[in-house]
Structure formats: structure tokens, C-alpha cells
């Protein structure tokens, strides 16, 4: 019944502040699109954020892939987030012991906690990873209120090691840490019970016409393990709340038009799911 509820209704039930905020943002902007900015220069990233900004709910970065990261870049990205009303997610996939991830989160070259509304976290180290991030935030100026994470429960890549048993444990961790967890990265909704928990699903691409749309929703791969499903399939068959699209938009001839198209097809699929 969670999947049949509107984002507004789910926001009412959300125990995590950021997940309520994101659900409301998605509802008001009518967008479930997260664009993945896997680009190498800050100019390219800022240009993309400005172009796709009107159509997205989350702008997802990998700042350690940038060749010219700067704090000026972060300020400009935050300005764009304000102008276009989207959240910033740094897809850091923290994966170490609590003490180490705390340092990586608030310090280092990137000071991620200062500017990323959301981060991604692997469940692999166990609950200590959450304690590390949360305790660091609490002593850091930004506090917990406007920061949250998504736990990576299941990856999109071929032959991923996130087995069903691993996924179940990762979901348990997510369900019990509503103080800091806004959602999960997953390829299906199986086992996700908290109404406010948001499912973020990467590996989304509109099938290229000459291949023909396949009935199982698959829309190919990238030759390096990434596996794609269609927007329609991830929302209606896999339970995606937010869909992550990278190269489907960044490699399009016109990224604004592509973002608008993805936003529209994803939103229609959501409306169909909730029966609106």
C-alpha cells in the first residue's frame, strides 16, 4: 500500500525530516528525476545543473571525479539548487568504519557535510558507519536537521555482490535509523516497509528505438557492468520513487529536452502507480 500512496500522503508519515522535505519537493515540482552529473570539469557540472535544474528533484554529484574541484564551485552549485529548487546528493558511497567516514564526511578536501543535503552510504561496515556520520554531524556546525543519507542496499550493476540476504540486512539498518536515513538505493521495493523511506533507483535509460523496447523493461547495458531499465519499468515494476539518469541525459544532443522528457515519462508512471 506504500507504493499506492501519493508523495504528499507519505510525507505526512515520514519520520525523517529530509525525506518529508524531498517527498514534498517531488510533489510540488512534479519531478522524480535525479540527474547524475558524471562529468570531469566543474564548468560542465554547473552548466548541466543550470540546464536541467527546472526538471529535477535531486542533482547527484561525484566530486572526487572532478579535475578542478573548488569551494567556489560548491557555492555556485548551492546557488543553482536554490534558484531551481533541487537537493544536492554527493554519491560518496561511504564504506569504512565510523571514525574514518566521519572525517571523510566533514573534513578532507571536499567538506561534503557543508554542502551536500544528501549522501550515499554502504551498509557493509554495519551500524557503526551511521554512528560515525551522525556523531560527526552533531559536533559539526551544520547539525543533523538538514542532512540525511541513502543506504545502498542493492546495486544496479551486473553480478553485484549485494545479495538478497545482504539487501535485507541493509534495509533493516535503514528502517532502524530514521534519524539519519531518508531512503535506500535499490532496484526493487521488496521488503521496504517504512512509508516515508524513499527508493532511489539508478540504471535508468529510455531504450534506443532501433533495439526495440523489450517487454521485460530492460534497456541494455554500457559494456562496463551497468544495466539499464526503462523509466516506466523502474517506477511501475520496481517501485522506484526517484529515478537516477546519467548518460541518458548528459549524452543527449539537448540535455534540457532530454531532462524534460525523462521528467514527464517518470511523472506519468508515478501517476499511474498511485492511480491519479
Looking at 105-113, 127-135, 148-156, 254-262, which segment touches ligand 5FU (CB under 6 A)?
A: 148-156
Q: Can you list the pairs that 220-223 forms with residues at least 24 positions away whose Cβ atoms lie under 8 Å?
A: 221/158, 222/247
185 lies in the binding site for ligand 5FU (CB under 6 A): yes
Residue 75 falls in the annotated catalytic set: no
CB count in 10 Å sphere of residue 223: 6
247 is in an annotated binding site: yes
90 lies in the binding site for ligand 5FU (CB under 6 A): no
Q: x/- string (CB under 6 A) for ligand 5FU, residues 92-131? A: ----------------------------------------
Which residue in 29, 68, 96, 146 is the catalytic one? Answer: 96
203 lies in the binding site for ligand 5FU (CB under 6 A): yes
Overall residue count recorded for the chain in this entry: 276
Q: Where are the alpha helices (DSSP H) in 107-203?
A: 112-115, 128-139, 164-176
**Do residues 220 and 233 make contact, with C-beta atoms less than 8 angstroms apart?**
no
Looking at beta carbons only, is 11 or 245 nearer to ligand 5FU?
245
CA 52: distance to chain centroid?
A: 15
Strands (E), the chain: 33-37, 58-61, 87-94, 118-122, 148-152, 181-185, 198-201, 218-221, 227-229, 242-245
205 is in an annotated binding site: yes
Q: x/- string (CB under 6 A) for ligand 5FU, residues 218-247? A: --------x-----------------xxxx
The CA–CA distances, whole Å, from 271 to 175, 195, 242 equal 26, 17, 13
**Do residues 231 and 204 make contact, with C-beta atoms less than 8 angstroms apart?**
yes
Looking at beta carbons only, is 135 or 254 nearer to ligand 5FU?
254
252 lies in the binding site for ligand 5FU (CB under 6 A): no
156 is in an annotated binding site: yes
63 lies in the binding site for ligand 5FU (CB under 6 A): no
Which residue in 29, 64, 93, 146 is the catalytic one? Answer: 93
Looking at 42-50, 150-158, 174-182, 262-270, which segment touches ligand 5FU (CB under 6 A)?
A: 150-158
Q: Is 111 exposed, middle or buried (0-12, 13-18, 19+ CB in 10 A)?
A: middle
Which residue in 43, 82, 91, 114 is the catalytic one? Answer: 91
**Do residues 167 and 160 make contact, with C-beta atoms less than 8 angstroms apart?**
no
Q: Looking only at Cα atoms, what is the longest distance across the chain?
A: 54
Feature table: binding site:
38, 60, 156, 205, 226, 246-247
Which chain residues interact with ligand 5FU by CB under 6 A? 36, 38, 62, 91, 152, 155-156, 185, 202-203, 226, 244-248
Which sequence positions are flagged as catalytic?
91, 93, 96
Amino acid at each position: 500500500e506504500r507504493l499506492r500512496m501519493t508523495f504528499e500522503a507519505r510525507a505526512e508519515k515520514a519520520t525523517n525530516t529530509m525525506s518529508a522535505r524531498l517527498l514534498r519537493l517531488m510533489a510540488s515540482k512534479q519531478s522524480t528525476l535525479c540527474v547524475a552529473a558524471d562529468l570531469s570539469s566543474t564548468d560542465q557540472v554547473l552548466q548541466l545543473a543550470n540546464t536541467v535544474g527546472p526538471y529535477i528533484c535531486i542533482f547527484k554529484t561525484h566530486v572526487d571525479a572532478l579535475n578542478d574541484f573548488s569551494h567556489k564551485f560548491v557555492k555556485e552549485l548551492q546557488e543553482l539548487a536554490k534558484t531551481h529548487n533541487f537537493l544536492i546528493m554527493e554519491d560518496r558511497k561511504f564504506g569504512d568504519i565510523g571514525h574514518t567516514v566521519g572525517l571523510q564526511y566533514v573534513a578532507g578536501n571536499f567538506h561534503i557535510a557543508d554542502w551536500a543535503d544528501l549522501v550515499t552510504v554502504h551498509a557493509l561496515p554495519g551500524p557503526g558507519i551511521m554512528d560515525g556520520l551522525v556523531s560527526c554531524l552533531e559536533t559539526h556546525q551544520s547539525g543533523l536537521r538538514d542532512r540525511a543519507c541513502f543506504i545502498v542496499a542493492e546495486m544496479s550493476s551486473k553480478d553485484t555482490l549485494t545479495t538478497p540476504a545482504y539487501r535485507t540486512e541493509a534495509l533493516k539498518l535503514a528502517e532502524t535509523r530514521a534519524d539519519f536515513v531518508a531512503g535506500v538505493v535499490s532496484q526493487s521495493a521488496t521488503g521496504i516497509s517504512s512509508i516515508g523511506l524513499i527508493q532511489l533507483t539508478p540504471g535508468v535509460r529510455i531504450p534506443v528505438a532501433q533495439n526495440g523496447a523489450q517487454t521485460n523493461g530492460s534497456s541494455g547495458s554500457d559494456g562496463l557492468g551497468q544495466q539499464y531499465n526503462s523509466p516506466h519499468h523502474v517506477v511501475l515494476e520496481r517501485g522506484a520513487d526517484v529515478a537516477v539518469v546519467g548518460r541518458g541525459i548528459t549524452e543527449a544532443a539537448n540535455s534540457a529536452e532530454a531532462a524534460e522528457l525523462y521528467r514527464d515519462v517518470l511523472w506519468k508512471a508515478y501517476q499511474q502507480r498511485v492511480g491519479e
